[in-house]
Amino acid sequence: MTDRPTLTRHAPAKINLALAVGPRRESDGMHPIASWMAPISLFDTVTAQRLAEGEPSRFEISWAPNAMRPTLIDWSIEADLAVRAVRALEAEAGGSLPLVMRVEKRIPVGAGLGGGSSDAAAALLVVRELFGLDIPDDGLAAIASTLGSDVPFFLGDGPALVTGCGETITRTKSIAERGAIALLAPSFGCATGAVYAAFDSMEPREFRSEDAARLANDAVLDDTACFNDLAAAAERVEPSLAQMRAMIESAASVRAHITGSGSAMFVLCNDHAEAERVIESARRFVGSIAGAVV
């Protein structure tokens, strides 16, 4: 047994209720976005235990027994975003921060649900507290921005309108008026880089930033107004995604929305029972799909 300090934090997944994407900027290759993002109840778990000065840090990435779509963890430890978050804090602190950190994953990889980004944000928050680092919230957000455009969103709570390249975050209303969400994850993922490359190759379209802001600020969530400018690009990269979405919408008489760069989809439902029916219908017609009510 040990009395070494230990902290644990949930790292929630997110869905994009609206995602407007602007043209790639020549200056830095980034795409401006305007997205209404909302955390959901599916989560990874990040646990950190402080070690004595001079001890080597240890990291473990694994799938939880109840993960909805576990896949091969084929990236190196140092490439993991949560580990990179620790390294960024060490650089800021000017020295090593010895710890044992475990990331227990439930959020599917390559699904557009922000699992890696959420893990990184949880790691930033846990390690700052564990070591009592004198880094203010805006300083932590600046570090988060260097790790990925979605990471700053996960430092706070609740839905938000996210603009710029992810650095401007305006918290918005809850989506609690929707009783449940049916989350559907195909057996394959979508590579974000490939989806953005496909987006760049498609006919340019208007940057619908105002549409995203309007949806985020409306008094009532309008399912028919939800949109995702990356959806068509994701379906071009993974044509079977378009087929799955069409089958699910036909079988369950619902609108299925792709989140982020795919491949996960979500359906806004009135209650838990309806969400379960959607998932059951999806499984009947697409046997390889995983589902969860969130």
Catalytic site positions: 14, 150
Q: Cα Rg for the chain, rounded, in angstroms? A: 19
- Phi, psi (degrees; rounded to nearest 5) at 252: -105, 0
Sort strands 168-171 and 58-63 into parallel, antiparallel or unpaired: unpaired
Could you please report the per-residue DSSP string of 153-183? Answer: GGGS-S-EEEEETTTEEEE----TTS-EEEE
d(CA 133, CA 136): 9
The C-alpha atoms of residue 48 and residue 265 are separated, in whole angstroms, by 31
SS3 of residue 153 by DSSP: helix
Q: Which are the contacts of 162, defined by CB distance < 8 A and separation ≥ 6?
A: 33, 34, 35, 36, 37, 150, 152, 153, 168, 169, 170
